[in-house]
Amino acid sequence: MERTAGVTVEAMVVETTGDRDRVSPIWEIGGRGVFVKEVQAAVLDGRADIAVHSAKDLPSDRPHGLVIGAVPERGDPRDALVGSRLDDIPTGATVATGSVRRRAQLAWLRPDLTFAGLRGNMDTRLAQAERFAAIVVATAALDRLGLAGRITEALDPDVMLPQVAQGALAVECRVDDLPTREVLAGIEHLPSRRAVDAEWGYLATLGGSCELPAGAYAEVGTDPSVRVRGLLASLDGSVLLLDERAGDGDPGELGRMLAEHLLGVGGAWMMDEDAIAPARARGSSA
């Protein structure tokens, strides 16, 4: 139990589907929600008052009765290479990643590369780095674990667009728990919230837990304006759609407009199961 800023906090560890199965690809065992459902259930049934999520793990559809009480200041949203810089990876080498989004973008940038899966906690992933030319992980995860020194290259969003809400935390509580919501308001970081809301709006329009490689990254200016970039790709990286929108209105609506545009210029075809299946087969064999 810990007392911080006048609030007593007791940690409660909840094992999720994603924690129990550290071998299967994420999309095979339920997609983005595999690290959050059991934690959300603990809040809904009163065993816990708040849930702290890696915001990139949250599907855009929220369980009835829960609300995002706060998005604290966002960490580094970039993807990181451990083992080699992108330009230094030898031709035909193997890169390990458990993310179809990362794999597709790397395949687009470097069609010569081959890929292997990567699951487990961060220690497990880093221990496997020597088996491959490089592994890809989230910069924020290494930062928070005090392992930033392991980063060989952090990839700029212009090179690799991050996962929706990557680098951010989302603190969830019950809708009707007004005292807790008042406390959480004290750690809300409005620019981070606006950026993440734009990215969640993008994901929601694609379907909430899209299995295709999809990423988005929003930046908030000194004024209320938001610029959001979105990516939608085939699993094998042979097709990649990328565009952006900017405005000072509702950030969620901005993200939705961007997603609708990408769906209209070819993304809807990639969302079709008949298109996903052969691409998934090619991706899983790499």
Q: Which residues are catalytic?
A: 57
Tokens, residue 5:
């800023």
- Asked if residues 242 and 215 have their Cβ atoms less than 8 Å apart, the reply is no
Tokens, residue 165:
């809400």
- Asked if residues 198 and 216 have their Cβ atoms less than 8 Å apart, the reply is yes
Interhelix angle 190-206/251-262, rounded to 10 degrees, is: 30
Q: Residue with structure tokens 């969302």?
A: 271
Tokens, residue 259:
């997603």
Rounded to whole angstroms, how far apart are CA atoms 120 and 286?
A: 19
Rounded to whole angstroms, how far apart are CA atoms 143 and 79?
A: 12
Rounded to whole angstroms, how far apart are CA atoms 31 and 29?
A: 6
Rg (CA), the chain: 19
Question: Phi and psi of 29, rounded to 5°?
Answer: -110, 15
> Where would I find the beta strands (DSSP E) of the chain?
2-4, 7-9, 50-54, 66-70, 79-82, 94-96, 114-116, 134-138, 153-155, 169-174, 214-220, 226-233, 240-247
Question: Which of the 8 DSSP states describes residue 55?
Answer: G
